[in-house]
Amino acid sequence: MTRDPLTTRRPRPTLPDRVRDALLGDLYSNVYVAGDRLPNEDELAARFEVSRATIREAVRGLVEAGYLVRRHGSGTFVTARPRHRHTLNANLSYTAMIREAGLEPGRKLLRRLVRKATGDEAGALAIAAGEPVLFVERIRTADGRPVVYSTDRIPTALLGDAADGAIGSSLYELLAGVRREVCSALATLRPVIADERLAHLLDVHVGSPLQRIEQVHFDELGRPVMLSSEWHVPDVFELSVNRMSDAPAGNAGA
């Protein structure tokens, strides 16, 4: 046993974590409500018996999560209910979005082959044109109904032996398996009209609107690892985005 279990033992949650959870509890139980000013940092430090730096770390997390705002010289204030989770910008997983809509996600593999990269593909993936890429063509379903048709390309050079096998598993898992986990992506959205082929694949009428999303996926270090083209059937699950006027912290302007 250590000297003083009460103060010494600190297995998982850090002090800022515990302070944050306590404040979050106060927010959810309406001890503080939207517009209220929190006690100042010295007072919070005294109340929780931690240093002011620890309080600031805890509050920083709640500010980033959108629960609080700080105003220099004035105080720290409670915001109205925080933003949606499951937005495009804060989420890479359509599976999670489909579940959020109360539907059961599924996947169907149409094709899987290795071919040479086109010029556009090579440019987006930072490889030479003609380099081999794994090409996968799939349909996602929600409660069995088709909702997304997609094609994905991954340079085989990234995959090594992993390119074979693991056919059923997610491409994210495939990349994570070779230490190139997808951490971010840049998506470009454009409305298009369903042609005969897309209408057939997605079980919609020719001429109906589809959301096209062109997307480059990046690993932890920001290197491109996968290029995707997606066609979404609208109104099955929402595509939403949290927007913020930028430069929230450390405005390293470039």
Partner DNA sequence: GAGTGGTCTAGACCACCGT
Partner DNA sequence: CGGTGGTCTAGACCACTCC
Instruction: Name the segment binding a second copy (CB under 8 A); options: 99-107, 132-140, 160-168, 246-254.
Output: 246-254
Burial of 214 (0-12, 13-18, 19+ CB in 10 A): middle
Buried b (16+ CB within 10 A) or exposed e, 35-45: eeebeebeebb
Closest distance to DNA from the beta carbon of 172 (Å): 19
Window 195-224: contact mask with a second copy (x via CB under 8 A): ------------xxxxx---x--x-xxxxx
To which residue do tokens 């949650």 refer? 13
Give which of DNA, a second copy, none residue 3 binds (C-beta under 5 to 8 Å, depending on kind): none
Site for a second copy, residues 164 to 183, rule: CB under 8 A:
182-183
Residue in 109, 110, 128, 192 binding a second copy, rule: CB under 8 A: 192
Q: Which of 39, 75, 91, 95 binds a second copy (CB under 8 A)?
A: 91
Please, which of residues 31-60 interact with a second copy by CB under 8 A?
A: 34-35, 58, 60
- Decide: is 13 part of the binding site for a second copy (CB under 8 A): no
Write down the least CB distance from residue 250 to DNA, Å: 9
The nearer residue to a second copy, 51 or 116, going by C-beta atoms, is 51
Residue whose token pair is 């454009």: 190
DSSP H or E run through 174? helix 171-177
Pairing of strands 105-116, 75-78: unpaired
Task: From the list DNA, a second copy, none, pick the one residue 166 interacts with, judged by a Cβ distance below 5 to 8 Å according to partner type.
Answer: none
If one asks whether residue 205 binds DNA (CB under 7 A), the answer comes out as no
Letter string b/e over residues 113-150, b meaning 16 or more CB atoms within 10 A of that residue's CB:
eeeebeeebbebbebeeeeebbbbbbbbbbeeebbbbb
Instruction: Give whichever of 51 and 115 is closer to a second copy, judged by the CB atom.
Output: 51
By CB under 7 A, tell whether 41 contacts DNA.
yes
State the CB neighbour count (10 A cutoff) for residue 238.
Answer: 13
x/- contact string, 53-92, with DNA (CB under 7 A)? xx-xx------------xxxxxxx----------------
d(CA 177, CA 232): 28
Give 66's Cβ-side CA count (13 Å radius): 9
- Interface residues with DNA (CB under 7 A) are 10-11, 14-17, 38, 40-42, 49-54, 56-57, 70-76
